[in-house]
Amino acid sequence: MTTYQGSCHCGRVAFEADGEITQVLQCNCTICRRRGHLLWFVPKTNFRLKTPDENASTYRFNTMKIAHRFCPTCGVGPYSEATDPQGNPTAAVNARCLDGVDLASLKVIEYDGLHK
């Protein structure tokens, strides 16, 4: 299992996540489309903040089920927190915020979050 390092642009929000990235999800909902997220989902137990939790701000909208975390300094949204359909705590990591990942090599799954 690989441990990936990630952060916002300025580094105020930094984290690591364990797993293998085989695919990412590209959602067309109003926030993901505007922010250009490529989401890699990992169990929350495989996600660790390296900076204090209070360094990240939280934005919720619509059903309020997803905590979209972002840096209040640089504005980058490196991850979100929610539960998967089975009720398991999950982190949705923005693969664009991971160090050393070849984004062009990843399989991108299109998801219609706009109409869900």
Q: What is the pLDDT of residues 78-92, one digit of tens each?
A: 999 999 999 999 999
CATH code, residues 2-111: 2.170.150.70
Distance from C-alpha of 74 to C-alpha of 70, rounded to nearest angstrom: 9
Distance from C-alpha of 98 to C-alpha of 65, rounded to nearest angstrom: 24
> Is the per-residue pLDDT at 116 higher than 80?
no
> Is the per-residue pLDDT at 24 higher than 90?
yes
pTM reported for the whole predicted model: 0.93
Q: In the chain, where are the structural domains located?
A: 2-111
Phi and psi for 24 in degrees, rounded to 5?
A: -130, 155
Other C-beta atoms closer than 10 Å to the C-beta of 42 total: 18
Element (H, E) at 34: helix 30-35
How confident is the model over 40-75, as pLDDT tens digits?
999 999 999 999 999 999 999 988 999 999 999 999
